[in-house]
Amino acid sequence: MSTAIQKGSILVHRVFDIAGEISLVRAEQLLSADSKGPRLKFPTDTRKAIIIKESPLKADLGEELLDLPSGKFPVRIFARIWNYGVISVTAELAIAPGTDWDALVKLAAALEASSEIELLAVSRKDALKKSILPAVQGPAEWEIHEDYITYIIEKADGLENPREFIKKVDVAALILAEEKEHLVDEHRSFLVENALQYSSSDLAIIDWNSALLIEPEGQRDVADVIEFSLTHLLEFRYYDELLGRNLDELYDAMESKRESVANIFRNFYADIAEDSSRKYMEFSEFLGRVENSLKTVGDPYLAVAFKTSALEFHFDDWRKSISRKMETLAQISQILHGEVNTRRSHWLEIIIIVLIAVEMIPMAVDLWKYLRVLFGY
């Protein structure tokens, strides 16, 4: 059955890790001083139930025409700058009034396949990063980024009862952007049955790839929660790879046997362990922020939305993976510290023996002279 949508929008997210940290105060000053730069907009809605320690800066990056197979679509682009070194770029595309469900699914498939979105997001991210570079601490562009699409429907035929509405349309085809493949009923039923609902007029279906939000009043709270979760997912993946690299370096160092007599007083393994300890502290702080964010969501509906996002993005799996790597890294570093300290102790013993021997040389010479005099040699 085809259902016409009268009002709605599509949010296409791209999330990038660009640095260790960003000073939002300094970034605000830089962007505000740049008359040609994007105009900052700060969240002022006191009804927001999400309390973040340092709210991100929101920058309006203007409009563009997105070229898709079905035509050119105007998109509004904005970005959020997060203090933990992340920039999320979002392209907002309005759904044309009267668009039926099949056409929306085709549009979703086109957006998933489009490379123009990628290029557009990267170019805007690069320009924004250049503008705030003095506020960026430890700039380090990571090649991996997150992508996600959120579909928001405000008005549609038969939307009086959202539960009945999603039974009439192929939600799974939209969520997975499958234009041609017909998904099995089990998967379609699973998505519908696990929909979240706060009131009789709204509804949210959150999946790993995209989400469908029915918001008659145009609220963006759940969409903001999803974007917030995406930034955390990117950080989980970043720290997981970072720890993996540290382990690889440690294994390579062990194989190459870099601890030699020449650098006996420079502990190469200690350098890696020190760096790993710093990363451990960074991740511990980040993990605490994630856990605290669950506690600071005052609205139960948004708390459930956050937990659902965390479940779909496999936060627990990433957490466990990072914990295992951190434990392995700590154990290996401790063993190597012991080996290096033992080796240093051996060399110190040798040095002490040599010093004692050197000090005894004059005594031996004097004794030899005395013996020669005594025996008349």
Select the highest-mean-pLDDT range: 35-49, 203-217, 275-289. 203-217
What value does the mean pLDDT take over residues 13-24? 92
How far apart CA 29 and CA 267 sit, in angstroms, is 43
- For residue 256, name the pLDDT band (cuts at 50, 70, 90): low
Please tell me the predicted confidence (pLDDT) of residue 69. Answer: 83
Which residues make beta-bridge pairs with 79?
A: 59, 89
Please tell me the predicted confidence (pLDDT) of residue 160. Answer: 86
Q: Does the pLDDT of residue 265 top 60, yes or no?
A: no
Q: Does the pLDDT of residue 291 top 70, yes or no?
A: no
pTM for the complete prediction?
A: 0.80
Mean pLDDT lowest among 239-248, 295-304, 346-355: 295-304
Pair 206, 306: CB distance under 8 Å? no
Pair 171, 177: CB distance under 8 Å? no
Give Dmax over CA atoms of the chain in angstroms. Answer: 125
Q: Which of 226, 112, 231, 232 is nearest to 177 (CA)?
A: 112
Mean pLDDT lowest among 108-122, 168-182, 306-320: 168-182
pLDDT digits (tens, 9 = 90+) for 179-208: 665 555 555 676 777 789 888 889 999 999
Q: Residue holding tokens 């959120």?
A: 150
What value does the mean pLDDT take over residues 45-71? 75
pLDDT digits (tens, 9 = 90+) for 114-155: 889 999 999 999 999 999 999 998 888 888 899 999 999 999
Please tell me the predicted confidence (pLDDT) of residue 339. Answer: 66
Please tell me the predicted confidence (pLDDT) of residue 377. Answer: 61
What value does the mean pLDDT take over residues 79-90? 93
Please tell me the predicted confidence (pLDDT) of residue 10. Answer: 97
Mean pLDDT lowest among 40-49, 117-126, 159-168, 345-354: 40-49
Q: Does the pLDDT of residue 321 top 70, yes or no?
A: yes
- Tell me phi and psi for residue 307, to 5 degrees: -65, -35
Q: Does the pLDDT of residue 7 top 90, yes or no?
A: yes
Pair 283, 232: CB distance under 8 Å? no
Q: Which residues contact 303 (CB under 8 A, 6 or more apart)?
A: 294, 297
CA distances, 237 to each of 3, 269, 307 (Å): 39, 25, 18
Please tell me the predicted confidence (pLDDT) of residue 329. Answer: 76
- For residue 253, name the pLDDT band (cuts at 50, 70, 90): low
Average pLDDT of the chain is 81
